[in-house]
């Protein structure tokens, strides 16, 4: 056996979007507290780390959330800036449809 080094022959990163400014922790709470399974973070500080969200889980979460009040504030940036369920689900749908089709999860980076 052994432990050998391997490298990626293809590696590309193309970041898109700039959503939920200063609202990472609130978005994470909304997802996890409302049953979105398979949301993984690279660190406990969810505001400054990498996230991976399984696409199948996110699609199920979106479908479930569409049945609820679209005008309810579900993600807070601060006391003055809130995102409604409708606004939040629109962004999540974009992430789902525009992310890399070759992998089963969505990679989110906060910077």
What are the per-10-residue average pLDDT scores of the chain (111 residues)?
58 77 91 95 85 95 97 89 94 92 89 78
What integer pLDDT is reported at residue 43 of this predicted model? 86
Q: What is the per-residue pLDDT for 10?
A: 62
Compute and round to an integer the Cα radius of gyration of the chain. 16
How much is the pTM? 0.85
Annotated domain spans of the chain: 24-109
Please give the Cα distance from 101 to 53 (Å, whole number): 13
């Amino acid at each position: 056996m052994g432990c050998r080094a391997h490298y990626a022959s293809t590696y590309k990163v193309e970041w898109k979007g700039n959503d939920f400014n200063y609202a990472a922790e609130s978005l994470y709470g909304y997802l996890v507290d409302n049953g979105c399974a398979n949301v993984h973070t690279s660190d406990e500080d969810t505001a400054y780390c990498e996230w991976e969200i399984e696409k199948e889980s996110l699609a199920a979460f979106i479908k479930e959330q569409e049945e609820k009040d679209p005008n309810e504030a579900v993600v807070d940036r601060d006391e003055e800036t809130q995102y409604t369920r409708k606004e939040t689900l629109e962004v999540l749908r974009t992430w789902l449809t525009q992310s890399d089709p070759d992998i089963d999860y969505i990679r989110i980076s906060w910077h």
